[in-house]
A and B are shown apart, each in its own frame.
Chain A
Amino acid sequence: MSDRNDTALREAWTSPSGFPGWLSVVNNRPLGVRFMVTAFTFFLIGGVMALLMRIQLAVSENSFLGPEWYNRLFTMHGSTMMYLFSVPFLEGLALYVLPLLIGSRDVAYPRLTAFGYWTYLFGGLLFYASFLFGKVPDAGWFAYTPLSSSDYSGLGLDFWAVGLSLVEISGIVAAVEMIVTILKLRAPGMSLNRLPMFGWAMLAAGLMSLFAFTTLLVGTLMLELDRTAGTQFFNSRHGGTSLLWQHLFWFFGHPEVYIIFLPATGIVSMVVGTFARRLVGYTYIAVAILVTGFVSFGLWVHHMYTTGLPELSLGFFAAASLMIALASGVQVFAWIASLWGQRPALRSPLMFVLGFVFIFVLGGMTGVMVAIVPFDWQVHDTYFVVAHFHYVLIGGAVFPILAGVYYWLPKITGRMLLPWLGQLNFWLSFVGFNLTFFPMHIIGFLGMPRRVYTYSPGLGLDGYNLLATVGAFVLATGFAVLLIDVCYSLWHGKPAGNNPWGGVTLEWTVASPPPAYGFWELPIVNQRLPGETTPETPEGPASLARKPADQSPAQRAGSAQRANPAQRAVAALRGQPTQWRATLNSDVLTAAPQSIQYLPGPSYYPLLVAVGLVIALVAVLAKVYLVGLVGLAIAGLAIGGWLWPETQRIEQLRDSPLVADAGLPTLVSGRQSLGWWGMVCLLAILGTGLLAMLYAYFYIRLYSPQWPQEGLPRPDWLPFGIAYGLLLLTAPALAWAGHAYRHQRSNQIQFALTTVVLLTAAFLATSLHALVQYGVSPQQTAYGSLVALLSAYPWLLALVGLALVGAAQRQLWREAAVDDPFAASQLQIVSLYGYFVIVAGVLVFLTLVVPL
C-alpha cells in the first residue's frame, strides 16, 4: 500500500489551513479536535472555579470569597461542566472516532457539524462574556424560577439563557449528525448488529438529545420571554407557576446525565473489548443502552421530591428511578464477564476503566438511595447529593473520557503517551477524587445544604470540608500531570503505529494520524470485529475486497463484474473520487450499499449562520431588537446560500463515471437519501418543541382555578378556524403535487405548489389578523402568554415553509426532466415539512379553541 499514489485523493479532502481558510473547515476530524480542545479548555476553567470554591469552604465563616462571587462561581462551574464540557467533549471524540469505527470517510452533514461547532463556541464565549460586563449568572446551573426571573436576577441571567440557547442548538445539531451518520454511512456489511458499541451509545445519546435539548430550548425561550418580553409563564402572581420551569428543565436534565453517561459507557466497552480481547454480551449491552435511554425520560420528578407533589406520582418516579439501575447493572457485569480470566494488561486506558467501575458503582449506590423518596427528603439539596452526582459524573463520565483519551490519542496524534505518567495521573485522580467527595456524604448528613458560601462553625463540618479541599488539589494535580503528558507526547512521544493496542475495530486499520480522507479503500465488514482473524480470512476479512496489484486491467474488469455489489462499489471508490468528496451511503439495517454519497467541501456558510444567530441573540441581551432582526436576516440568507442547490455540482454527480463503475447512483430520493433523514430528524425536533409548549399549556391549566384565567375569552373559533382551515387546505394541495410528480405532469406540479404558496400566505395573514383582533395581552396573564406562544409557533413554521416550497418550486421549474432523484427528494422533503406544519396547526387550533 505504500506505493499507492494518494495525492489526488488527499487534495480532495485536505482542509484549508491558515486564515481565513480555517473558518471554512468542515472535515470531521479537525472539527472533532476543535470540539475536544475547546471543551477541555472549558473543563480546566471550570475546575479552577471549583478549586476557588473549595478554598472558600475549607474553613467555616471564611472570607476568601464573598457571597456574590461564590454564587457566581458555583453557577459557572456547574454550567461550564454540564453544558460546555461534557457533551461537547464526547461529541468531539465521536466526531473523530465514529466514522473510522463504522468505515466511513466523514459524517453525514459536514457543514452542519461546522455550524454545531461555531454555535457551541459562541455560546460558551457568551457565557463568559458576562464576566466582562460584571454581570455573571448566579442562579445556579439550573436557574430555578422565580429566582432566575427579572424580579430577582439581573442581566447575568440573560447571558446565561442566551449562551445556553446557542449551546442547546449545537447539541441538537450534533445529535442529528450522529443519528444519520450511524444509520446511513456504515461500511458495506456492517449490519446494525455489527455496530461497535460506541456506535450504539452515540446513537442512543443522539436520539435522546433530540428530545431532551429541544425541551430545554423551549423552556429557555420561555424564561427569556418572561425576563424580556413580560410574559408570565413562570410568575405565580399572574397565573404562571415556577414549578413549570422545574418540569421542563428536569425533563431535559435527567436524560442529559444519561446523554453524558451512555457515550462514556460506549468508550468503556471499546477499551474493555480491546484489553480483554473480547466483549461479552454484545446484545445485552446494546439493549441495556437503549433501555437506559428510553427509561431516562421517565425519571425527572426525582429531582422534585420536596416540592409537595402527590404521593402516587412520587412513588411512580421512584420505582422508575430504581429500575433504571438494572440496565446499568447489565453493562457493568458484561464488562466484568469480558475481563474475567483474560489477564488484561493494566495499561492507562484500562486503569481509568477500573477507576470508573469503582467510582461509578458507588455513585450508583447513592443514586439508588436518593431515588427513594423519604431518604431524599433528608439529603436533597445537601452535600450528600453533591457527592452523589460527582461520583456518577466524574466516575461515570470523566474517568471514561480519560480512558478514551489514553486509548485514542495515539490514533489522533500518532504518538503514545508515557505509561508511567498515565499511572501517576490515575492514582492522583483516584485518590484525590475520593478524598474530595467521600467526606461530602457525611457533611450532607451533618446538615450542610448545597450552594452555601460558608457554614457555621458549631456543626462539626469543618474537618471534613478541609479534607475535601485538600483532596481537590490532589485531583487537580492529576489533571496537571495529564496536560504535561499530552504536551510532552506531542513532541517526543513514541510513534504509535496503526494499532498500538492490538484492537480489532476499524479505526486501527488506518494510519495514526489518519490521512485526510480516512479510508483509501472503504472496508467490507462481515463480522462484528472486523480485524479479528478467522481460519477463512487469515489476513482479516477486509482482504477479500482487495485485488492483487499485479492483476491486469482486463483481469480486474472481469473480476469486478463477478464480484458482489459491495465489492464492486468498494473497488470503484478505491482512491476515488478525486474531484469531489464521497463515501458510501448504505441501508439502515443491513448496510448494503445504496448510493455514492456526495459530501460537501469547505464552506463559510455555517459560520455565517452562526454569526447571524449570535447577533440576533446579543441584540436581545442588549435590548436593541432591530439589530436582532438584522441578525436573523443574515442567518436566513446564509441558510439560503447553504441549501441552494449547486446546479453544476448536480450535473457533475449525474454524469460521473463512478455510477457505472460502482453500479450505484449518486443521487437518490426517499428513505435512501440523507436529506430525507435530516428532515425526519428536524420534524422530531419541531414536534418535541410543540409538545413542550402544549405541556406548558395543559400544566398551567391543571393548576388554574379558572380556565381561561381571569375569565378571559377563548380565541374565537370563526376567525381562527378560517385561518387554520386555510392551512389545512394545503394538505390536499401538497398531495396533488406529489401525485402530479409521480405522473410526471410538470404543469400540474407548478399549479399545486402555487396553490400551497397562496394558501400558506393567506394563513399567515388571516391568523395574524385573528390574533391581533383577539387582543388578549401576553403580558397580563399566563393564559395570554400561552395563547401568543402557541399561535406564534405554527405561524413561524409556516413562514419558513413558504420559503421551502418556493425553493422547491423553483427547482422543479428549472428541471426539464421531472423524473430526477434530486427534484423528487426536494418535493418529498418539502412535503414532509408541510404535512408537519399542518398537523401542528391543527393541534394548536384544537387546543386553543375547543372549550374542554
Chain B
Amino acid sequence: MQATHPLRLILSWQCAAGLLTLTGCQGQRTQSALHPAGPAAAAIAQLWWILLTVLGLYALAVFALTLMAIFRRGSKPLNASTHHASSQAARFPGRRLILGGGVILPAMILVPLLLYSLSTTTQLRMQESGLTIRVVGHRWWWEVEYPEQGIVTANQLTIPVGQPVRLELTSADVIHSFWVPQLHGKMDLIPGKQTAFWLQADQPGTYRGQCAEYCGLQHAHMAFEVIALPPAEFVAWLNQTAPAASSATPRSDSLPADPFPLQDLAPESDGDAAQRGSRLFLKHGCGVCHAVAGSPAQGEVGPDLTLLADRRTIAAATLPNTPENLLKWLADPQAIKPGVNMPPTEATPEELRAIVAYLLSLDRQGGADERSE
C-alpha cells in the first residue's frame, strides 16, 4: 500500500501500541484477530489500526468540544432566569459548528474510509487456488473434505503455508459461521447454499477457529484448528494421508448389507488391544454414527474417525486428543458437551481402554484393523 511517510509512522506507532497492550505468549493468542498470520487478516488488522486512529481522534475532539461547551464562559453574560429571546431571530452562531463538525468533517473522514474499505474488500476477493477444501457445518462439529484428494476428516484443516486455499462452505442443519481470526474474517455456512471462501497462512503454525453463528446448545464448543505446514511438509502430509483415505469406501456409497454382523465377530480374546478395540467399536454401535475408512463403520451422523489419531483435539477442539480425554469423552460425552448428539458408551472401563487404543491407531498409516491384515 502506498502510504505517506507520516501515515506510516502513525501506523507503526499504533502497531507497537497495539502489541504492547495485547502482548501475550502466542499460545494465549491463537484466536486473536490482532495477531494476524495471513494476508487477509493482516489487511483487516491494518484497516483496524487506521480506523482506531482516525475515529479515535474524532471522538476525542467531540469530547473536548463537549467539555468546552459545558465549562466555557460565554462572551455575553446571560440572565439565568430569562431566555435569550433573540436566539430564534438571529442567525444562530452555531451553524458553522453544526455543519462543520457534524457534516463536513465527518464526510471528509468517511468518504476516504469508504474508499479505503472498498479497496481492502477488493484485496480480499477470492483467489485462484490449486487446493479446495469442503467444509460442512453440523451441530456441533465440522466436516472437512478434500474432494480432489479423497481425504475426509473433521474439526481440523491442514493447509500449506503461503498459498491460498479455496473453501466451499455449506451446512447440513442450521446456519454456522467459519472463523479463524488469525487468518481471515468469517463466512457463514448456510443450509441449501454454498458460500465460497479462502484462507491463506503466511507462517507455519496452529490457528484456532470457532463457530461464530449461534447454532444451539453447544455453539460454544464448536471450534476447530487450522494447521499450516511449510509447502514440502504439506505435500508429504497429503501423500501420506490420501492413500489411507483413498482406500476408503467413498462416503454415501452403498452400505454393506449388514454392516455389523455381530454374530460373525471373532471372540474378544484376541491379543492386541487395538484389534479388540476395533471389534468393540462396532459391537457398541459406534459405526452407526461414525465412519472409519476400510471398516464396516460407515455412519454419517458424526465426524469421520479415519484420521482421528492425527487430530490434535477432540470434540470439536474442546479437549486435547489424549487417551485420558478420549476415555472421558467416550464414557460420558454429555458431561463435557451437554446436549451433544453422542450418547455415553455403555462399556466396561477395560473395554473402553481397548476402544481408545483402537481409536489412537487411526492415523495416516491406516487403522489397526487394516494393518493386521
Complex Cα distance, B177 from A284, in Å, reads 42
B174 x A152 contact (CB < 8 A) = yes
Among residues of A, the one whose C-beta sits closest to the C-beta of B195 is A308
**Cβ of A339 under 8 Å from chain B:** yes
Residue of A71, A333, A358, A369 touching B97 (CB-CB under 8 A): A333
Contact of A445 among B34, B59, B192 (CB under 8 A): B34
Q: Are B74 and A341 in touch, CB under 8 angstroms?
A: yes
Residue pair A315, B118 in contact (C-beta under 8 Å): yes
A323 proximity list for chain B (CB < 8 A): 110
Q: How far apart sit A372 and B211, CA to CA, in the bound complex (Å)?
A: 22
Binds A, one of B1-9, B212-220, B230-238, B350-358: B212-220
Are A66 and B338 in contact, CB atoms less than 8 angstroms apart?
A: yes
Question: Which of chain A's residues have a CB closer than 8 A to the CB of B213?
Answer: 144, 381
Give the one of B62, B195, B215 with max A CB within 10 A. Answer: B62
B70 contact set on A, CB distance < 8 A: 339, 343-344, 346, 354
Residues 238-279 of B, flagged 1 when their CB comes within 8 A of A and 0 if not, give 000000000000000000000000000000000000000000
Decide yes or no whether A334 CB sits under 8 A from chain B.
yes
Contact string against B for A residues 518-553, beta-carbon threshold 8 Å, 1 for contact and 0 otherwise: 000000000111001111000000000000000000
Check A281–B106 contact: CB distance below 8 A.
no
B212 touching A381, Cβ below 8 Å = yes
Q: Check B193 against A449 for contact (C-beta < 8 Å).
A: no
Shortest beta-carbon distance from A350 to chain B in Å: 8
Which B residues are CB-close (under 8 A) to A447? 30-33, 181, 208, 210
Inter-chain contacts of A314 with B (CB < 8 A): 121
Give A277's nearest chain B residue, CB to CB: B83
Q: Quick one: which of B138-183 are within 8 Å of A by CB?
A: 173-175, 177, 179, 181
Distance of A600 Cα from B47 Cα, bound (Å) = 60
CB-CB nearest in chain A for B41: A378
Q: 1/0 per residue B95-126: CB within 8 Å of A? A: 10111111100110010011001101100110
| Contact present for B98 and A334 (CB under 8 Å) | yes
Q: Which residues of A from 277 to 293 have beta carbons under 8 Å from B?
A: 277-278, 280-282, 284
- Give Cα distance in the complex from A343 to B120, angstroms: 46
Closest Cβ neighbor of B52 among chain A residues: A369
B102 touches A332 (CB 8 A): yes
User: Judging by beta carbons under 8 Å apart, are A451 and B88 in contact?
Assistant: no
A319 at the interface (CB under 8 A from B): yes
Given contacts A66-B338, A361-B63, A372-B51, contact A459 B220 (CB under 8 A): no
Q: In the assembled complex, which residues on chain B have CB atoms less than 8 Å from the CB atom of A375?
A: 44, 47-48, 51, 117
Given contacts A449-B179, A527-B88, contact A374 B78 (CB under 8 A): no
- Smallest CB–CB gap between B221 and chain A, Å? 8
Range class of the B interface residue count: 35 or more
Q: In the complex the two chains form, what is the Cα distance from A66 to B191 in whole Å? A: 27
- In the assembled complex, how far is the CB of residue B121 from the closest CB belonging to chain A, in whole angstroms? 5
Inter-chain contact B32/A460, CB cutoff 8 Å: yes
Q: Once the chains bind, are B117 and A373 in contact (CB under 8 Å)?
A: yes
A430 to chain B, nearest CB (A): 13
Assuming the A-B contacts A326-B106, A382-B212, A458-B27, are A308 and B188 also in contact, with contact meaning beta carbons closer than 8 angstroms in the complex?
yes
Contacts of A185 on B, CB cut-off 8 Å?
none
Check if B56 is an interface residue, CB within 8 A of chain A.
yes
**Which of chain B's residues has its CB closest to A441's CB?**
B52
- Quick one: which of B200-230 are within 8 Å of A by CB? 208, 210-220, 223
**Contact, CB under 8 Å: A374 / B44:** yes
User: Is B371 engaged at the interface, CB distance under 8 Å to the other chain?
Assistant: no
Which A residue sits closest to B317, measured CB to CB? A456
CB distance from A281 to the nearest CB of B (A): 5
Say yes or no: is B185 at the interface (Cβ < 8 Å to chain A).
Answer: yes
Q: Which of A340, A365, A381 contacts B72 (CB 8 A)?
A: A340
A378 touches B185 (CB 8 A): yes
Q: A residues within 8 Å of B by Cβ?
A: 66-68, 71, 139-140, 144, 146-147, 151-152, 236-237, 241-243, 277-278, 280-282, 284, 306-308, 311, 314-315, 318-319, 322-323, 325-326, 329-334, 336-344, 346, 354, 357-358, 361-362, 365, 368-369, 372-382, 442, 445-447, 449-456, 458-460, 502, 504, 527-529, 532-535
A-B contact pairs, 7 of them (CB 8 A): A140-B214, A144-B214, A280-B92, A281-B94, A442-B22, A455-B220, A459-B30
The 4 closest A-B pairs by CB, nearest first: A377-B185, A236-B192, A337-B94, A341-B74
Given contacts A144-B214, A280-B98, 18 further A-B contacts (CB under 8 A): A68-B217, A147-B175, A152-B174, A241-B193, A277-B80, A281-B94, A333-B94, A340-B69, A365-B55, A372-B51, A377-B187, A381-B213, A445-B32, A445-B33, A445-B181, A446-B32, A459-B32, A533-B82
Q: Which residues of B contact A (CB under 8 A)?
A: 22, 24, 27-34, 41, 43-44, 47-48, 51, 55-56, 58-59, 62-63, 65-66, 68-75, 78, 80-85, 87-88, 92-95, 97-103, 106-107, 110, 113-114, 117-118, 120-121, 124-125, 173-175, 177, 179, 181, 184-188, 190-193, 195-196, 208, 210-220, 223, 338-339
